[in-house]
A and B are shown apart, each in its own frame.
Chain A
């Protein structure tokens, strides 16, 4: 494998359609962990994570998500027959998209996300997030990436396709009044 310099983006923005070298800043390596250059197929490891019960509880709480398989260990194992509490599919998608945005060498806005949950991921599993460029627009203003999460046995638990646009202007403002809630934390 070939290591990348600290702070170097894992995935390079494509100049335009047909830029097959994009995402492949130092092709030819074998990508095993974040910081490795993408492999010969342009696949980069974007992040790794071992989910813990606390973050599953926080995600359930933040989104008022009462499905018990995400925080109730006895119910999950005794009633539903899973080995351990289950990582939310949407949480995996959130982390995949965040990892993609963080791995790119330009700021982007996420425009579409299509995801599928293929297998269970439970707390304690080592999850590896990977991604690669699929295609780019003719003018290089947008690109579509494939990202996916693998657990320790190599099975893909969640896959997603995200189309992102290179950010070139000021963000869209929130309410014109600029009012806030005044009650943060």
Chain B
């Protein structure tokens, strides 16, 4: 990794190639079965006390097959599915090395996120979680280099029907 960074800063063409190679490496589709604990834990952690998110009987009475996730549940899939890597593959700041582009940075920040929500996740749903890099933009400001990486995250059922699609930008400084 360090060799790639050093080479990248010496030649902009090398940097472009390294970023392109990295973008290809983080394109993944992972299967995840949403279970009841996923939903209940998210509801508890976010302070949501609606019985539809906790009580299967209440959810069934409302027409769902099982407990239904709060609208923003997809944000936990983004991390729960893609951050599950061996301990040795975590950057010192805590997130997976593979998610960081091959550049020098000291801080990673959340940027703009735009999500389209088609239907709610229900316990028992099989979800295909897909991630790809949509674009990378480098800017230089008074605080130094900023690299904007725009990801697309898709959450579909096995037949390809969407639950949610999110376009999420991470900013590396």
Binding site for B on A (CB under 8 A): 55, 58-59, 61-69, 72, 75, 80, 88-91, 93-95, 97-98, 101, 109-117, 170-185
| Contact A173:B46 (CB < 8 A) given known A113-B115, A117-B109 | no
Contacts of B108 in A (CB 8 A): 67
Contacts of A114 in B (CB 8 A): 112-115
Is A90's CB under 8 angstroms from B37's CB? Answer: no
Is A101's CB under 8 angstroms from B71's CB? Answer: yes
Is B45's CB under 8 angstroms from A58's CB? Answer: yes
Q: Is B65 an interface residue (CB 8 A)?
A: yes
17 contacts between A and B (CB under 8 A): A55-B45, A65-B76, A93-B72, A95-B47, A110-B72, A112-B116, A112-B117, A114-B115, A116-B112, A174-B66, A175-B124, A177-B65, A178-B65, A179-B66, A180-B65, A183-B35, A184-B54
Contacts of A183 in B (CB 8 A): 35-37
Closest residue on chain A to residue B48 by CB atoms: A98
In the assembled complex, the CB of B52 is this many whole angstroms from the nearest CB of chain A, namely 9
In the complex, A110 Cα to B120 Cα: how many Å?
9
Q: Which of chain B's residues 93-140 have a Cβ closer than 8 Å to chain A? A: 93-95, 107-117, 119-120, 122-126
Q: Which of chain B's residues 55-93 have a Cβ closer than 8 Å to chain A? A: 56, 60, 62-68, 70-72, 75-80, 83-84, 90, 93
CB within 8 A of B94: which of A68, A110, A111? A68
In the complex, A132 Cα to B113 Cα: how many Å?
20
In the complex, A61 Cα to B94 Cα: how many Å?
13
In the complex, A177 Cα to B123 Cα: how many Å?
11
Closest 5 CB pairs of A and B: A174-B122, A174-B65, A63-B76, A181-B35, A58-B45
Closest residue on chain A to residue B62 by CB atoms: A171
In the complex, A94 Cα to B63 Cα: how many Å?
24
Q: Is B22 an interface residue (CB 8 A)?
A: no
Chain B, residues 10-44, CB within 8 Å of chain A (1/0): the string is 00000000000000000000000001111011101
Please give 19 more A-B residue pairs, beta carbons under 8 A apart, in addition to A90-B72, A98-B48, A113-B115: A59-B45, A62-B38, A62-B45, A63-B77, A65-B80, A66-B94, A67-B94, A67-B95, A88-B110, A94-B72, A98-B47, A112-B116, A113-B114, A117-B109, A117-B111, A171-B120, A177-B124, A178-B124, A183-B37
Is B84's CB under 8 angstroms from A64's CB? Answer: yes
Is B119's CB under 8 angstroms from A181's CB? Answer: no
Contacts of B80 in A (CB 8 A): 62-65
Is A89's CB under 8 angstroms from B110's CB? Answer: yes
Closest residue on chain B to residue A47 by CB atoms: B47
Is B40's CB under 8 angstroms from A59's CB? Answer: no
In the assembled complex, the CB of A75 is this many whole angstroms from the nearest CB of chain B, namely 8
